[in-house]
């Protein structure tokens, strides 16, 4: 088994071989060093179709980590994906994993620039993959003006904690549109849409 997963993934990234990355590392014991979820080709196509059907031309991924997932979504679907991370010090230090897209760095308390970005996101989907900070999630949603959310994370019987969960309660404003399992991993991609406000 390959020991230096980070170096090998970096090499495959330079060769733009996203398929080898997901096929080789989906079940690798060290996969979380770089990314928590390695979607299948069917999953990428599912995300792409949902985005097209919901008229989203962009994805803003909150807590994107290395940005590997975001780079692969862009490679496979052609959709523009940006990534947001907190804690600039960690992401610029020498022990941090490599980053596969430029990171937008924000403060734990959302700064003016991030609030303004969220307010301009009418045609974007907000993505949270293995996010684990409910207060921050609520804060992002407070300013997000778009109508689509993608939550990727473990189902209840995987015994891994994330918040929000793919099938957790997102509040009355959001309803589940479509979902798909990531291979047979018990991780799910759940797409939500904002409910129409009836006046």
Inter-residue contact 121 to 147 (CB < 8 Å): no
- Asked if residue 37 binds ligand SAM (CB under 6 A), the reply is yes
Inter-residue contact 58 to 123 (CB < 8 Å): yes
- Asked if residue 63 binds ligand SAM (CB under 6 A), the reply is yes
CA-wise closest residue to 127 among 95, 172, 83: 83
**Binding-site member from 80, 123, 133, 180 for ligand SAM (CB under 6 A):** 133
- Beta carbon of residue 110, minimum distance to ligand SAM (angstroms, whole number): 8
Structure tokens, 93: 């230090």
The residue behind tokens 């994330």 is: 162
3 state SS of 58? strand
Sole window of 35-43, 47-55, 142-150, 179-187 interacting with ligand SAM (rule: CB under 6 A): 35-43
Q: Of 55 and 63, which has the nearer Cβ to ligand SAM?
A: 63
- Asked if residue 103 binds ligand SAM (CB under 6 A), the reply is no
**Whole-number Å distance between alpha carbons of 19 and 93:** 29
Residues from 137 through 196 that contact ligand SAM (CB under 6 A):
none
Structure tokens, 114: 């991030």
**Binding-site member from 47, 56, 62, 149 for ligand SAM (CB under 6 A):** 62
Sole window of 13-21, 128-136, 164-172, 177-185 interacting with ligand SAM (rule: CB under 6 A): 128-136
CA-wise closest residue to 151 among 191, 194, 193: 191
Q: Of 7 and 175, which has the nearer Cβ to ligand SAM?
A: 7
Q: Of 54 and 96, which has the nearer Cβ to ligand SAM?
A: 96
CA 139, 100, 43, 124: dihedral to nearest 10 degrees? 40
- Asked if residue 118 binds ligand SAM (CB under 6 A), the reply is no
3 state SS of 158? helix
Q: Of 51 and 72, which has the nearer Cβ to ligand SAM?
A: 72
Bridge partner residues of 180 (DSSP): 189
Q: Report the phi/psi class of residue 87: left, alpha or beta, with left for phi > 0 and alpha for psi in -120 to 50.
A: left
- Residues 80-99: x/- map of binding to ligand SAM (CB under 6 A)? ----xxxx------------
Where on the chain is the footprint of ligand SAM (CB under 6 A)?
35-37, 62-65, 69, 84-87, 106, 108, 129-133, 136
């Amino acid at each position: 088994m390959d020991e230096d997963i980070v170096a090998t993934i970096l090499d495959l990234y330079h060769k733009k071989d996203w398929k080898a990355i997901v096929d080789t590392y989906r079940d690798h014991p060290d996969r979380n060093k770089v990314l928590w979820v390695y979607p299948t080709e069917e999953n990428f196509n599912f995300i792409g179709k949902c985005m097209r059907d919901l008229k989203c031309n962009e994805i803003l991924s909150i807590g994107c980590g290395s940005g590997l997932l975001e780079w692969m979504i862009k490679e496979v679907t052609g959709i523009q994906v940006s990534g947001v991370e907190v804690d600039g010090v960690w992401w610029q230090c020498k022990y941090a994993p490599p980053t596969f897209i430029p990171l937008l760095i924000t403060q734990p308390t959302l700064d003016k620039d991030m609030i303004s970005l969220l307010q301009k996101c009418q045609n974007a989907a907000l993505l949270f993959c293995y996010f684990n900070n409910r207060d921050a999630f609520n804060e992002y949603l407070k300013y997000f003006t778009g109508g689509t959310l993608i939550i990727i994370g473990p189902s209840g019987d995987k015994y891994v904690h994330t918040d929000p969960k793919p099938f957790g309660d997102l509040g009355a404003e959001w309803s589940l549109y479509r979902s798909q399992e990531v291979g047979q991993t018990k991780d799910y991609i759940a797409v939500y849409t904002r409910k129409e406000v009836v006046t």
